[in-house]
Structure 1
């Protein structure tokens, strides 16, 4: 599979002829050079309802007919608008021909946009386990994500203020013991400006993986 980080929390996965977008914050994203018209997704996965994660979801799904996969309450809202959805709740998994999507907890609020709870995502694709932490603070149950299989790749927020910062994120990296870790959700807005080296300095060398924005890599 090919994975591309497009800055902030926007991730693209290409696998088995499918295009999967996660938290497609494109318009207003200061990092990516892509535009909504560059994508024709089959699936859109959302961690929660804040604008910098929902992003261009509705425009993209209207154009492509993509299935929106997200927590139950938020999925129900999209269904009422006429979109195709899958909406498992915490702990639930939905199975596709290209892989599995499990909705898991994240510690974060969505109170100003009351459309369900914030989540993380555990993706099993081609036998690989990918942990998308979403917007979250540090919590001990993160270690349970890889209880049956070591996490192959994890995306962890490091921006602080709205999520955990570099110190807690580095501890989270040691807690989950992923093979590779990518820091994300930082430097997009003034409150989450960070020096990524404040994260890397406390992360074991064998876990470090630097993803270049808009450049795909193989997993």
Structure 2
């Protein structure tokens, strides 16, 4: 799989069969500017971890132009289904076999409300299994003990964890999280977009290295292969 960082918590994941977009927040991200053109994004699926605007801002435009299937919890899926979009609803602990592989919707600790005040249900994350690889996409979350359940079912190849602190885990809790999920290869996200979540990137990488872990902090538009 190829995982491309599109800023903040937005990811473009290409499997052998499909293109998957996660939490599209592009046009409102001051760090993206002209680095990403949403008209070029043609995902087959859009995964949404929760309803906050910095995770759903560009969902409707992209879904309309690509006819993507929106995958999220029941409340978020229903919100978009009422607007005429193709959706697949899920809920915590549930899994589904898609044409590209398997998704499991797992717990996260955060809040989840649309900008218009609509309830976005409970936030979550995803474990994506495709191309004989397993990726944990944590979404916006605090460190929590349910993360320890993931290694009972999956040997993760990559964990994508928020590290910006203030609204989510910071670097130190992300290190604990990597222990909980038994994955020492981490892609950090949800950092540096605005003042509350700015981090010292060199120090973050140093802290992971001190724990014999690898932290990837990708420039916008850059990718890693797993």
- Tell whether the structures are fold-level matches, with TM greater than 0.5: yes
Which of 178, 203, 207 is the matching residue for 1:202? 207
Q: What is residue 130 of structure 1 aligned with on the other side?
A: 135
- Asked if 1 retains the 8 angstrom alpha-carbon contact of 2:92 and 2:105, the reply is yes
Counterpart CA distance in 2 for 1:206 and 1:165 is: 15
Runs (4 or more) in structure 1 with deviation over 2 Å come to: 196-213
Structure 2, gaps ≥5 residues long: none
Local SS of the residue matching 1:117? coil
> What is the 5 A alignment of 1:71-150?
71-111=73-113, 113-150=118-155
Q: Look up the SS of the partner of 1:145 in the other structure.
A: helix
1:200 CA drift (Å): 2.8
Q: Secondary structure at the match of 2:90?
A: coil
Q: Which shifted more, 140-149 or 20-29?
A: 140-149
Q: 1:196 to 1:147 in 2, by over 3 A?
A: farther
Q: Is the 8 A contact 1:153 1:180 kept in 2?
A: yes
Render the CA deviation track for 1:153-173: whole Å, top value 9, x for unaligned.
001111111111111112112
Q: Note the alpha carbon deviations across 1:129-179, whole angstroms, 9 max, x for none.
A: 100110001111112112223211001111111111111112112221214
Distance in structure 2 (CA, Å) of the matches to 1:163 and 1:172: 12
TM-score in terms of structure 1 length: 0.94
TM-score (norm 2): 0.91
- Specify the alignment match of 1:29 in structure 2: 29
Q: State the aligned residue count.
A: 219
Task: Report which stretch shifted further, 14-23 or 65-74.
Answer: 14-23
Q: Quick one: distance in 1 between partners of 2:29 and 2:84?
A: 27
CA drift at 1:78: 0.9
State the match for 1:5 in structure 2: 5
Distance in 2, Cα, partners of 1:155 & 1:196? 16
Match of 2:165 among 157, 160, 165: 160
After TM superposition, the structure 1 stretch with the greater mean CA deviation from structure 2, 92-101 or 205-214, is 205-214
1:211 matched residue in structure 2: 218
Q: Which runs of 5+ in 1 are unaligned?
A: none
Paired with 1:43 and 1:202, the residues of 2 have a C-alpha distance of: 34
How far apart, in 2, do the equivalents of 1:119 and 1:68 lie? 14
Match among 133, 140, 156 for residue 151 of structure 1: 156
Alpha-carbon distance, 1:215 to partner: 1.7
* Deviation (angstroms), 1:202: 3.2
Q: Does the Cα contact within 8 Å between 2:23 and 2:55 map onto a contact in 1?
A: yes
1:21-60 counterparts in 2 under 5 A?
21-32=21-32, 33-60=35-62
Quickly say closer, same or farther: Cα 1:64–1:155, change in 2 above 3 A.
same
* Higher deviation after alignment, 174-183 or 35-44: 174-183
How far does residue 113 in structure 1 lie from its aligned partner after superposition? 4.5
Report the Cα offset of residue 206 of structure 1.
4.3
